[in-house]
Amino acid sequence: LRSAEELQLQERFDARIDAGDFIEAKDWMPEHYRKTLLRQISQHAHSEIVGMLPEGNWITRAPTLKRKAILLAKVQDEGGHGLYLYAAAETLGTSRDQMVDALHTGKAKYSSIFNYPTLSWADVGVIGWLVDGAAIMNQVPICRCSYAPYARAMVRICREESFHQRQGFDSLLTMMKQGTQAQRDMVQDAVNRWWWPTLMMFGPPDDQSPNSAQSMRWGIKRISNDDLRQKFVDASQEQAAVLGVSFPDPELRWNAERQHYDFGAIDWSEFWRVVGGDGPCNRERLTARVKAWDDGAWVREAALAHAEKQAQMPRK
Ligand code: FAQ
C-alpha cells in the first residue's frame, strides 16, 4: 500500500506530464519512469559508443584527405554523444561505471544496426545517409521528451546528426554522379545490405512493443515505432530517386489512398536474433569495447594516482 503522501506526489507528477511540463533530475518521479528512462538513455549511449566501431573501421582507408577529416569528426561526435547521454543517464542515480559494466557483460542492449559489417567504402556513406537519417527521424521527437536532461542532450546531438546525414548523402552523390560503374555498383550493393536492418532500428511493430504504451503516456516517446518507420520510408524514397539507387523491396510503391509508401514485410526473426546477441558482428563489437576498456586501465590508474597526489598537496 502506498502512503497518502506518495499518492499525492504521483498525482502531481501525472498532472505535470499531462500539462506538458518537463521533469528535472531533482523532481520526484515514479520508480518505473526512472527505470524506463535509464534503460532507454543508457541503451542509446551504448549505441553511440558501439556505433563508432563500424565506421571507425574505415578511418585509415578513407579515399581522400577531405573524406578522412569528415569521418574522423563524425566518429568523434559519436563518442561525444555517448558521453552526453551517459551524463544524462547518471542524473537518474546510476553511475557510468555500472552502465559500462552492463554493456561489457552483455546485460545491456544497444542498437541492432551496429552488429552489421562495413564491407566497402560505400557502407560509410550509406550509414551516414540511412542510419543517421533513421537516427534523426527517431531523435528529433526526443528533443521534446518529458525528462529535461535527456531532451537537452538531444538538441545538440540532433544538430550533429544532421551533419552526419548530409556528409553520407554527399559522399554517395559524388560516387553516383561522378564515379565509375564499379563505384555505382558498390553504392547499390551497400544500400541493398543496409536497407532492411535500418528499418529495424525503429524497434518492433507497435502491437509487439512492450514499452511503447507507457513511454508514450509519459511523453518519453512522442511518435510510435511504426509511424516513425513510415515517415522514414517516405523521406528515403525521394532521396533514393535523387541518388539514382533503389531499395531491395519489390513491394515498395506509392499508395495514393494512404498518401504514403507501402513496403514489404520486415524479417522480425532476424531482428530478434541480432538483439539477442547472434548477429553477424555482435561478438566482435563487444570484444572490441572490452579490449578498449582494458587497454585504457593505465590511464584510469594514472588519473586516480594524480588526483590522490593533488589531494595530499598542501593548499596554496
Ligand atoms: N536494437 O518496447 P520497445 C545512433 C528493444 S542511433 C536493439 O519498442 P522502446 C546514432 C528495446 O530496447 C541508435 N534493441 O522499446 C548513430 C526493448 O528491449 P528492453 C540508437 C531494440 O525502448 C548513427 C525491446 O526491443 N538510438 O546511435 C531495438 O520503447 C550512426 C522492445 O522494444 C536510440 O537508442 C533496436 N533497434 O523503443 C551512431 C534512440 N529496438 O529494453 C553511430 C532512443 C527495440 O525492454 C553511427 N531509443 N529494441 O529489454 C528509442 O527511441 C527507443 O528505445 C527505441 C525502442 C525506439 C529504440
- ipTM for the assembly: 0.98
Mean pLDDT of 213-235: 97
Predicted pLDDT at 2: 76
Ligand 1 midpoint to CA 1 (Å): 34
Residue 193: per-residue pLDDT: 98
Cα distance between residue 12 and residue 29, in whole Å: 10
pLDDT above 70 as % of the chain: 99
CA distance 155 to 22: 15
The C-alpha atoms of residue 143 and residue 222 are separated, in whole angstroms, by 10
Cα separation of 107 and 141, whole Å? 27
Statement: residue 132 has pLDDT above 90: yes
- Cα 183 to middle of ligand 1, angstroms: 32
For residue 239, give Cα distances in angstroms to 163, 179, 198, 245, 266.
16, 18, 15, 9, 21
Is the per-residue pLDDT at 316 higher than 90?
Answer: no
> Is the predicted pLDDT of residue 140 greater than 70, yes or no?
yes
Task: Output the CA angle 78-81-83, nearest 5 degrees.
Answer: 115
Question: Of all protein residues, whose CA lies closest to atom 6 belonging to ligand 1?
Answer: 135
Confidence of residue 315 (pLDDT cuts 50, 70, 90): confident
Residue nearest to atom 26 of ligand 1 (CA): 44
Residue 314 has what pLDDT? 87
Q: What's the confidence (pLDDT) of residue 43?
A: 98
Hey, which residues does 272 pair with through a beta bridge? Answer: none
Residue 255 belongs to what H/E stretch? strand 253-255
Give mean pLDDT, residues 230-239. 97
| Section 163-168 average pLDDT | 97
CA dist 170 and 129 (Å) reads 9
Strand partners, 23: 147
Q: Whose CA is nearest to atom 45 of ligand 1?
A: 211
In this structure, which residue's CA is closest to atom 22 in ligand 1?
40
Q: Give the relative orientation of helices 148-178 and 65-90 as an angle to the nearest 10 degrees.
A: 160
Q: Residue 104: is its pLDDT beyond 90?
A: yes
The pLDDT of residue 1 is 62
In 91-202, which ranges are continuous DSSP H helix? 96-104, 121-126, 132-139, 148-178, 181-200
Q: Ligand 1 centroid to 294 CA: how many Å?
A: 27
Testing ligand 1's pocket by substitution, the residue of 131, 200, 275 carrying the most ligand atoms inside 8 A of its CB is 275
**Residue 39 · residue 108 · CB < 8 Å:** no
Place 3 in a pLDDT band, splitting at 50, 70 and 90: confident
Q: 309 CA to middle of ligand 1, Å?
A: 42
Ligand 1 — pocket residues by CB below 6 A? 39-40, 43-44, 47-48, 51, 78, 109, 111-112, 127, 131-132, 135, 138-139, 200-204, 209-212, 215, 221, 225, 275
Residue 229 predicted with pLDDT over 80? yes
Average pLDDT, the chain: 97
SS3 287: helix
Q: What end-to-end distance do the CA atoms of the chain give, in Å?
A: 55
Helix (H, G, I), strand (E, B) or coil at 223: coil
Grid cell listed for 245: 539507387
